[in-house]
Structure 1
Amino acid sequence: MFDLLVQLDITFVVWITCFCAVTLSAGIQRLSGQAFGIVAAPLIALVAPQFLPAGLLLLGITVGLTSTAVDFSALTRAEIIPGFFGRALGAVIAAMIAASITNVDLIAGLTGAVVLFGTILSLSGLRITIQPFSLIMAGIAAGLMGTITAVGAPPMALLYQYEPAKRARAMQNTFFFWGMCISVLALAWQDLINAKHLIFAGSLLPAIVLGLAVSMPLAKRLERQTIRPYALGLSMVAATTLIARLVFA
């Protein structure tokens, strides 16, 4: 453990905070089909912004893959291609923008702002028809937000928030998995992923296993609306704290 902390240049308190954030957000992602980034990103940005967005996106690939496999039968395949296309386009544009951002505090501030925006969007109650155009536009927005800040779920969550729980989870987890993969590839294309990101993500893989294991028996008992307010509330508090710290530092 000591060698790990030396390699990452962080304290044990920082690492265990990230571990808890990933455990919590992985469980919520499995239960609701959203919230991995919107919960974990602001919490990690408070203590270790240098690992965003790449470190969290790498972890998200594992979360998305395992969560998608569980509800695979509920996928609506006709909706996948437009969403995938939009996410890929947004990720490519975002990676070029991210290459010009070198200030860690700026990334942290953007993360807080995106989380607040996403939370407000999730609570807005907007109802948007799911069709190819809306899927492409939501995908582009998710690609831009997710690749720069690791928070890309809100646009798709807005589309699927009134769908049956199992279908919503399946579709959002599928878009989430694809989004993580394409965002990581886009960042790698711009040389924005390094060894520390890989070590950080690897060290927190047990947190994902723990979060998913705890959430599995709860998936059939809890509707996503049961935990959604708590997840959004935690995200808003963390994002507000992050922005306040940056403003008044």
Structure 2
Amino acid sequence: MSVGLLIAGVVILAGAVIQGAVGYGLNLLAGPLLALIDPMLVPVPVLMIACVQAALAVLREHRHTDWRGVGWAMLGRVPGNVLGVLAVAALPLTQFNLVIGLSVLACVGLSLLSLRLEPTRPGLVVAGVASGAFGTASSIGGPPIALLYQHSSGPTVRATLGAYFLLASVSSVVTLWIAGQVRVEHLGAAAVLLPFMLAGFAVSGPLRKFLGGSRLRYAVLAVAGVSAAFLVVRNAF
């Protein structure tokens, strides 16, 4: 295993612990950092890893899932996926990295909003479109949906976001595959990173009651924001 993949694995492990404990954060943390390590790792391998993590989250707390909200968010996800694919196919590497960085910064800004937003039907559809565009282009589609559920209980947040991420990640991978953006090396990278994610998810189980506070949320946003800002600066100048 190369040093780059080993570092990527550690990032995935940390992201899996955070997402398993609070409901989201794997792609938000891993997206910008893995793009710095090797742009090939984003978005396809990260999305594949996210599929497995999301499935495990649903199995662990499925009774708390808001399936109605998941359905409305997925309605917006489909056109959002198309927007994301257009970005992946049309932009050169430097501009694509800029899109990833700016997308993450936008998501961090959304996550810091203190507005009392609720998961209404129109809100879920709009958040689904934004999530689809960000998620398909950069593997980071969680914050628009998480923002609507930030005031819900921990089990509801984790289970609902897990169900949404499972369907959304699968839809993004399928859309990218149809567009010819999925390659054999993506499968190999995902296979190497999978054990790190499984280890992180296992650790997150007993930590759920300790890692749900605001300090962890702000730490995730800070790491993602700094990484994204570095990515933007490196590719803009």
TM range (shorter): over 0.9
- 1:59 and 2:25 aligned: no
Instruction: Quote how far apart the aligned CAs of 1:77 are.
Output: 2.3
- 1:42 and 2:39 aligned: no
User: Quick one: which amino acid aligns to residue 236 of structure 2?
Assistant: V
Instruction: Quote how far apart the aligned CAs of 1:180 are.
Output: 0.6
Q: Distance in 2 between matches of 1:224 and 1:139?
A: 26
User: Quick one: which amino acid aligns to residue 154 of structure 1?
Assistant: P
Q: Distance in 2 between matches of 1:55 and 1:198?
A: 7
Q: Distance in 2 between matches of 1:222 and 1:19?
A: 21
User: Quick one: which amino acid aligns to residue 77 of structure 1?
Assistant: W
Q: Distance in 1 between matches of 2:121 and 2:192?
A: 39
Count of aligned positions: 237
Q: Deviations over 1:8-66 (max 9, x none)?
A: xxxx2211111111111111111111111110011101110122111111111111111
Q: How does 1:127-138 map to 2 (within 5 A)?
A: 127-138=116-127
- 1:125 and 2:114 aligned: yes
User: Quick one: which amino acid aligns to residue 194 of structure 2?
Assistant: L
Q: Deviations over 1:79-134 (max 9, x none)?
A: 22111111122113322342223x22222221111111111110111222321111
Aligned position for 2:7: 17
Q: Distance in 2 between matches of 1:16 and 1:97?
A: 28
User: Quick one: which amino acid aligns to residue 117 of structure 1?
Assistant: A
4+ residue runs of structure 1 moved beyond 3 angstroms?
A: none
- 1:201 and 2:177 aligned: no
SS in structure 1 of the partner of residue 165 of structure 2: helix
Q: Indicate conservation of the 8 Å contact 1:26/1:208, yes or no.
A: yes
Aligned position for 1:168: 157
- Which stretches in structure 2 are left out of the alignment for 5+ residues? none
TM-score after normalising by structure 2: 0.95
Q: Distance in 2 between matches of 1:225 and 1:183?
A: 30
Q: Deviations over 1:130-169 (max 9, x none)?
A: 2111111111110011001111011101101111121111
Instruction: Quote how far apart the aligned CAs of 1:224 are.
Output: 4.5
Aligned position for 2:69: 79
Is 160-169 or 239-248 further displaced after alignment? 239-248
Instruction: Quote how far apart the aligned CAs of 1:220 are.
Output: 2.7
SS in structure 2 of the partner of residue 223 of structure 1: coil
> Which of residues 166, 176, 179 is equivalent to 1:177?
166
Aligned position for 1:4: none
Share of identical aligned residues, percent?
Answer: 29
